[in-house]
Amino acid sequence: MKAEEAIEEIEKLDKEYNFMNNISKDIAVEQEKERKKGKLSGYFISAKDCVCVKDVESRGGSKILTGYKPVFDATVVERIKNEGGIIIGKTAQDAFGFGSFSVNVGIGMKVPLNPNDKERACGGSSGGSAAAAYVLKDKMKHISIAESTGGSIVCPASFCGVVGLCPTYGRVSRYGLMDYANSLDKFGPIASNVHDAALLLEVMAGFDENESTSLKKDVPEYTSFVGKDVKGMKIGMIKEAFGEGVNSDVKDKVKKTIEKLKERGAEVEEISLPLVAKYGVSCYYLIAMSETSTNLAKYCGLRYGIMDKNMNIGFNEYFTKIRSENLNDESKRRIIVGTFARMAGTRDAYYIGAMKVRTKIIEEYKKAFEKYDVLVCPTMPVVAPKFSEIEKLTPLENYMMDIMTVGPNLAGLPHITVPCGESEGMPVGIMFVGDHLAEEKIIQAASNV
């Protein structure tokens, strides 16, 4: 399929599902003319709006960055182009990654719709990426670059019924990412199948001298683990992930899938992760909001994005005016909470305290991996909710949706979700979590679902 033909199809489908923030037709056509042969020859790649793509408007899902066109490609984008992938545009997301449903979009931006039921959410914050992966799966060879801070890859992939793979922190360079929380953010693929997710990770992974947290580790051929049998694999079933608050039908579908893995030779035992269950959500939000309050300080209408040419006011007034008018409510909420958590007088009690708990959570996971190859649980406690249901949730109830996904993100562990059945006519996801740099094991397990 030619780029122009692919873009026309995407434009038509986007009118129905709102999964794109920016479709870069002219740039995609130009890329096609200079296309290199490689692992991604024939693939069209969409990028979450927080990924820098040269000369393509990249807003991080927020009105405050309207008009910003990066002058460089993120490392992941550069590597994709070098392997023959064509970037087709930017997918919709919660502003700066702040949400579980992709309803916290920037002021004036569109909310992506779940392709299984347009009255329901896609999940967040990479909702557009997951919707694109589902909608385009029978139309073209497509994979999306997504990003996760606390579950923003696996949540929408689960809600839309596709595959989401979040790698080990540092496995993929973050150079060219509009950061939410630096110690948590990770790029990863969302695709229609495990093979394509493994393929894109294979291309994106590896050391990058431009990014200080990227790891100097060899990259395995992840696709070679797709379809490898699970006989003898030791799987820990997380007890707390099947408890109160998890939809009974979701639990049933995940447990039936685990039984199938046992039939294929996997050894499954129940395991308890009490610290993750009890403190994971509060620990995650304290750290993430503290880091985002500093990261978003640079969006003040001076260097890039929205500007007001009426400069006849002081900096403080200008800073306040630009941010008040162009940041949405959830962005403001997280900045305020994060600023409080890291202030003198509260920093030790909140931010530093949360970092200490994070260390304990990592230790709890590492102890589990002394015995098990992978851990397993439902990805999300419910299926994708209706927009009318989301409107009734308080911010705290909204944050609790991340109860399964924040643990591996806090610990920087690789995890993957794959569809494992339906409830209420909507997809249910099962999530596998691996030890650091054990992406091949979760790919192996997920490909047997």
- Please report the DSSP string for 208-264 in residue order: -TT-TT----PPP-GGGGTT---TT-EEEEEGGGGSTTS-HHHHHHHHHHHHHHHHT
- Cβ atoms of 81 and 87 closer than 8 Å: yes
- Please report the DSSP string for 29-61 in residue order: HHHHHTPPPSTTTT-EEEEETTB--TTS---TT
Q: Which of 48, 81, 186, 441 is labelled catalytic?
A: 48
- Phi, psi angle pair for 261, to nearest 5°: -65, -35
What's the pLDDT at 141? 98
What's the pLDDT at 41? 96
- Listed residue (417, 407, 408) closest to 442, CA to CA: 417
What's the pLDDT at 250? 96
Q: Which helix (H) or strand (E) holds 142?
A: strand 142-148
Told to judge if 125 belongs to the known catalytic residues of this protein, a careful annotator would answer yes
Q: Which of 24, 152, 290, 293 is labelled catalytic?
A: 152
What's the pLDDT at 221? 98
What's the pLDDT at 441? 98
For residue 329, CA distances in Å to 26, 49, 75, 156, 324 come to 34, 19, 31, 21, 9
Q: How far apart are CA 133 and CA 46, in angstroms?
A: 9
Strand, helix or coil for residue 165 = strand
What's the pLDDT at 313? 84
Low-confidence residues of the chain, pLDDT below 50?
Answer: none
What's the pLDDT at 18? 98
pLDDT tens across 376-424, in order? 999 999 999 999 999 998 888 888 889 999 999 999 999 999 999 999 9
Q: How far apart are CA 291 and CA 341, in angstroms?
A: 10
- Phi, psi angle pair for 54, to nearest 5°: -55, 130
Structural domain boundaries in the chain: 1-273+374-449, 280-349
Q: Which of 46, 58, 102, 125 is labelled catalytic?
A: 125
The share of the chain scoring above pLDDT 90, in percent, equals: 92
What's the pLDDT at 315? 85
- According to CATH, the topology of domain 1-273+374-449 is Amidase signature (AS) enzymes (3.90.1300)
For residue 422, CA distances in Å to 114, 153, 291 come to 14, 19, 37
